[in-house]
Each structure stands twice: as C-alpha cells, then as structure tokens.
Amino acid sequence: MPPCLAARHHVLRTIFSLRDLSIELSVLRDPKQSRSFTGRWRNASSYTKAYSSSSAQTSNDSLGKKASSSKREVSALLHRISAFLPSALSGSTTDGGIRSSQLWSELLSEVDTDLCSPSEAHLSARVVVCGADQWAGSHELITALLENPFTTDEAYSDILRNRWKNQSTYLTIDHRSSTSLINGTLTIPASWLQQYPLPIQLTEIPSLSSHLSLPKTLLKGDVLILLCNPLTTPLPTLISTAQHILQRPNTILVLTAASASEHALDHISKELAAANCTPGKILAMDPIRALEAVSALKSDPSSPAAIQRYQDNFMGSRISLLGDVLAGMLGVKDSGPTSSSSSSLFLAIRTRSALIQMQSALYASARSVSQARAAIDRVFIGASELQSQVEEVRARTDREVLVESGIDEALLRGSKEMKALLDSLTWLKMIWRVDEIDSLVSSALDRHWCRELENQLILQTGRLGSTQASLTSSTFSQLAKLRSPSSSPAFHSPILDNHLRQLRHSPTYALTPDALTRPIQARRSQLTKHTTTRLHREAQNAVLGVFGGMFGGAGVGWWFAFGESALSVGAGSEAGTALGAGALVAVASIRWAVGKWERAKRKWVEDADRVGQGLKRDLKVTLERGIEKNVAVVPMAAYEGLRELVGKQQEEIDVVRSDLISMQADVEALETARPS
C-alpha cells in the first residue's frame, strides 16, 4: 500500500484484495522498491490532485462569489439579531446557558468576526465531536480516525491514545508536522485532518455533562458529531438533554450500533421528528470495532490474517461513511486546496454556520417567548384561582350568614315579641305609664329584637376571620411561586408584595366582632330614636286628648247648665241635657284617644317590619363590603396587580414575537438565496 493510502486507510473508497495489500506491504519492507514505488505514486497522485483541484476550484470560486455577495446581508442580520436577543432571552439561565442572550450574542459576534475579517491562520473547518455520555464512544471514534497503523513514531500513538489523562473538559485537535499535547491542544500529523480543501480542526468533548460552560464550545462548530450509545442513553433521555443540538441541521447523530438497519434508523428519525428534532444526518457505526481493526493491523501489519481482520472489522464498523457525510455537510469534495478555493470555501462554510447560528438563536428566542406565554398562562391561572376562591367564599358566606343565621326567623320572632309587648300596653295601662313608654319599648327592643341574630352574626364574624386568614395565606403562597427559580422574574413585583403586606397590617384589615352587627345596632337605634319616640309622643297626645275631652265635656255641661241659651228649656231638662252633652264629649275624647293609641301601636309594628326588611338589605350590603374590604382585600388586590403585570408582559411579548417572526423570515430568505 502506498504511504498516503496507508495514512488514509479509514476513508477507503474501495475494498482491497489480500494479494494487492500484501504486495504493497512487501514494497514497504524493501527500501529501494519503496522509494521508487513512492515516487511513482506521488507523481500519479500529483496529477490526480491537480486535475481535481482545478475542477473543485472552479465550483468553489463560483460558490465563494455567491457567498460574498450575501456577506453584508448576513452581517447586518447578525447585528440585528444580536441587538434583539436581550429582549427575548434572559441574561443568564439555569439550563447551562442554552437560552442565555449572552451565549448567543457571543456566538453571533464570533461568527460575524469570522465573516468580516477572517484570519488566514484560522481558515479551517471546525468539527465538534461529543458523546452523549462517557460510554458513547467519542474517544474510540477519534482514535480510529486519527490513528496511523504504519507510523514508526512511538509518540504519535502514545499521545493520541492517552490524550485524556490530564484533561477534564474538552480537547482541541489541529494538524501539525509534530505530535504534542499542550494546554488542552493536541497537534498531530494526521492526514485525516487534511483530506478536505480546508483543514479540519477537531474539538473533542467526552460527554454532554462534562462542564457547564460547554454549550458555547458545542455550538460554535461548523459540524457537530453527537455520539449516542442506545444502551446507556435511551432516545427520550437524549432528546431531553440534547434537544437544542438535535434541532440543528449541521448535527450528525451517530448511534454506536453498527447492526442498526435502515428501517430502525427511519423509525428513530420519525421519533426525533415527533419531538421537533431534525438532525442533518443519522448514522449507525461501531467506533470500538473500528479501533480494534486499526489496532490489529498496527500490531502486525504484514500478517494476512491481521489484514483480513482489519478489512472485515473496519468495513463492518461502517466508520468510512462518516467521511462522505462530513464532506456533504461542509459542501466540499476530496481535492487539493488552493488559496482562492480555500478562502471562498471558508466563506461559504462560515456563511452557512452563521445562518445556522441565527436560526438556533431565534429558535431559542421562540422557545423563550413560548415559555413566557406559558408563564403568563400559569400566572393568570393562579390569579383566576384566587378570584375563584373569593367567589366561592362569597357564595358560601351568603348562604351561611344570610340563610343559616335565620334572619327572617329572627325578625319574625322579634316582631311577635314586640307586638305582644305593645298589646299588653292597653289604654288604661298606657295612661298610668305614659311617661315610661319610650324607655319601656326601647328596653324591650334591646332585649328581644334580633338579639339572637346578633349573637349568630358575631359567631359568623369569627368564621370569616378564619376564612380571611386562609385566603391571605393562599395569596402569599401564590406569590411565593413567582419567586421560585423556575418562574419568570417579570411577575415578581416587590411593589405588589409590599402593597399586600401593608394591607395585611393596616388597622382596617382585622374583622371586629361588630363588623356584621352594625346594621342591627343602627336599625335598633332607628326604631328607638324615631319610631319609638313617635309612639311615645302619640301616647302623650292621646292622654292629653282624653283629659282635654273630659275637661271640654265638663265645660260643655257647665255651659249648658249655667250659660245663656237661645232655647228656652226647663231647669230639669237643662241639667240632664248639660250632663249628657258633657258625658258625650268626654266619651268621644276617650274613644278618640283609644283609637289613636291603637293606631300608633299598629304604626309602630308596621315601621318595625319595614325596618326589618331594610335590615336584611343592610346585612347583605355589609357582608359584601366586609368580604371586599376585609376578608378578600389581599387576594383581590393580588389579582388586580397580577392582571396588570400580565397585561404589560403580554404587550412586551407581542412586540418581541412580531420582531421574531420578521427576523425568522429574513433568515429563511437568506437561506433560500444561499447557493447549495
């Protein structure tokens, strides 16, 4: 085998026969034949490379011109998205920074720098290789790709295979003429890194959980190779931990199961698509088997059995598929690089990476907006729960206070007792106690009218106090959820929290025992000051009318007996007439006074009934006011405050969403215009 073919054994395009491989190995053992054979191979190889380079240069120059024409548009859009990200993403997150505006701003800034002022020393394609866990096989894959079984440099294999002894996070691998490992950078003369028009810079990450600062390292690559061992990382676990990676079109998902059929890969692709994950390519290969093949050949390169074992294991591992897929991802072919084609190809690759980074940043922004809308829904649901609790308390207290307390029964019972008292105050008793009517009826009002209802309402006030404490506690529990790390900080308002605490400690917050009984006291005072006073006055007027009638009757009798008259009657007749006239006037005054007293008592009862109906309305209004101003004052204030916060946040999200849709359309337009 020629040396260049031996160095590139893992990118095999054809399957060698054992005879051909044995001849090549024998040539390698003869120094003279090796020099002549190597010279002929290099001459033939130079002609092949020149021809392929010329054809590749033509296509790459055309590709570079098209990419250069859109460079300014891409750069302008990068700046727009960078300025937009702080309004859509938080400055820092607890998810490793995937939805951090700082992360994406730094990534977009680096991409813009590469586009506008690329350094000739860094014209390389960045390929990131990461394992889903420590058993994914990323170490074996890179070792199998970079190992050279025919090298005589002992440091080459030793450093390559033991590169992770003193490393902890990630490793950068570049092509150099000598092998060294310094400060996390491995330089190695591996021809696999030089097989494309642009050199490959590998970044190796052992697992996704290696370090919290790795998202930037993961996402900055032009191509990301993610390895997953289905036995240790099931597909649902992989989706939950690496969804942001699996949604990028420059991701190659490698399942370390070489026996997976095309049908199984199609099923996995559908499962990923159902979770909104569409990686650029899904492969199945066995890095461990590939490494075993290389190790077997390295241990005895002249043995036909080792060669045969190498061919079987290397081809069976399917690792050679990776080179073709990677070339397709980078948009290149195996050809020798030229300065012009390298620069134009670099520009095309970086433009594609810029579009992918912008798409990913906007997707992260869209997820953030979606989560913000979900947070708004949760806050609104929490606020609605507070309102529902208040409405439930309203309905329950209406039933308990206005129905179960027996307002109608208490009013009816009080009316009967007061009517019985008034019925006992007959005309004759009233005359003797006319000056005590006011105090007598007022005392009866205090003792009998709605006294049991008053006691029931005091008991209900205590229950309302317990309900008030429960609602207040529930309100502050809802607000505490907004302060949790999983919630959006936009809904945690110290001003609202302080306002609610002021309401809680205000003098008018607590329910006093007479909070519900004030209407009874007011209506009782109304009966005492107005209705009872009028009854007392009517009683006095009736007594005065009686005495006035009696004195008037005596006066009439006296006038008839002794006064002058136009009629001429006899003495006997004059005395009887005078007595009858006087008696008639006296009896009429008594009858009038009795009727007046009875009407006054009926009027009092009617007024008391009207006051009772007014008391029912007053109790309902007082109960509603007590719920609004005392029992539910804290949850209702929280409800109004949260609704205001939700409204403001919704307006901001609508603006962000509108800008997001506009920039997504711009990115799609650039992606459509980009040469494929």
**Per DSSP, which regions of 446-543 are E strands?**
none
**Cβ neighbours around 300 below 10 Å, total:** 14
Cα distance between residue 218 and residue 214, in whole Å: 6
Q: Is the pLDDT of residue 483 over 60?
A: yes
pLDDT of residue 206: 87
Angle, CA 612 vertex, CA 611 and CA 618 arms, to 5°: 85
Is 434 strand, coil or helix? helix
Which percentage of the chain shows pLDDT scores above 70? Answer: 80
With the CA atoms of 636, 637, 641 and 647 taken in that order, what torsion angle do they form, in degrees rounded to the nearest 10?
30
Task: Look at residue 215 in the predicted model and tell me its pLDDT.
Answer: 77
> Does the pLDDT at position 260 exceed 60?
yes
Confidence category of residue 511, pLDDT binned at 50, 70, 90? confident
Domain limits of the chain?
A: 3-67+118-337, 405-631
Is residue 176 predicted with pLDDT exceeding 50? yes
Least confident range of 44-53, 132-141, 473-482, 500-509: 44-53
Least confident range from 125-139, 298-312, 330-344: namely 330-344
Task: Compute the distance between CA of residue 670 and CA of residue 115 in angstroms, rounded to an integer.
Answer: 15
Q: Which residue has the higher pLDDT, 556 or 217?
A: 217
pLDDT at 529: 85
pLDDT of 508 reads: 85
Residue 568: pLDDT over 50: no
Q: Are strands 185-188 and 281-284 parallel, antiparallel or unpaired?
A: unpaired
- State the pLDDT at residue 255: 92
Q: Residue 558: its pLDDT value, please? A: 66
CB 260 within 8 A of CB 243: no
Residue 168 has pLDDT above 80, yes or no: no
What is the predicted pLDDT for the residue at 92?
Answer: 53
The pLDDT tens digits for 291-313 are 888 888 888 877 888 888 888 88
In this structure, the dihedral spanned by the alpha carbons of residues 254, 257, 259 and 264, taken in order and rounded to 10 degrees, is -60
pLDDT band with cut points at 50, 70 and 90 for residue 489? low
pLDDT surpassing 70 at residue 369? yes
Is the pTM value of this prediction over 0.75?
no
Torsion of CA 639, 645, 648, 649, to 10 degrees: -120
Q: What is the pLDDT of residue 560?
A: 62
Note the residue count of the chain.
676
CA distances from 6 to 30, 143, 210 (A): 16, 16, 34
Residue 639 confidence (pLDDT) above 50: yes
What count of other Cβ atoms lies within 10 Å of the Cβ of residue 322?
A: 22
More confident residue, 621 or 54: 621
Q: For 93-102, 168-177, 566-575, which range has the lowest pLDDT when averaged over its residues?
A: 566-575
Q: What pLDDT was estimated at residue 407? A: 81
Torsion on CA atoms 556, 560, 566, 569, rounded to nearest 10: 150
- HSE on the CB side for 674, CA within 13 Å? 22
Least confident span in 85-94, 246-255, 324-333, 555-564: 555-564
Distances (CA, A) of 633 to 235, 306, 352, 471, 502: 51, 85, 58, 9, 11
For β-strands 223-228 and 251-255, DSSP reports them as: parallel
Label residue 3 by pLDDT band (50, 70, 90).
very low
Q: Which of 261-265, 339-343, 455-459, 580-584 has the lowest mean pLDDT?
A: 339-343
Mean pLDDT of 359-388: 87
Q: In percent, how much of the chain has pLDDT > 90?
A: 9
DSSP 17: P
More confident residue, 123 or 382: 382
**Predicted local distance difference test score (pLDDT) of residue 27:** 35
Lowest-confidence pick of 239-248, 386-395, 445-454: 445-454
Residue 10 has a pLDDT of 37
User: What is the pLDDT confidence band of residue 593, given thresholds at 50, 70 and 90?
Assistant: confident
Average model confidence (pLDDT) across the chain: 78
- Of 14 and 464, the structure prediction assigns the larger pLDDT to 464
Q: Angle, to 10 degrees, between the axis of helix 518-526 and the axis of helix 451-482?
A: 150
Mean pLDDT value of segment 475-502: 78
pLDDT at 276 over 80: yes
Mean pLDDT, to the nearest integer, of 640-663? Answer: 90
Tell me what pLDDT residue 350 has: 84
- Report, as an integer, the average pLDDT of 397-418: 81
Q: Note whether 169 and 214 are within 8 A (CB).
A: yes
Strand partners, 198: none
pLDDT band at 119 (very low <50, low <70, confident <90, very high): low
Residue 44: its pLDDT value, please?
32
pLDDT at residue 548 tops 50: yes
User: Under the phi-then-psi rule, with left for phi > 0, alpha for psi from -120 to 50, and beta for the rest, what region is 398?
Assistant: alpha
> What span, in angstroms and rounded, lies between the C-alpha atoms of 275 and 313?
34
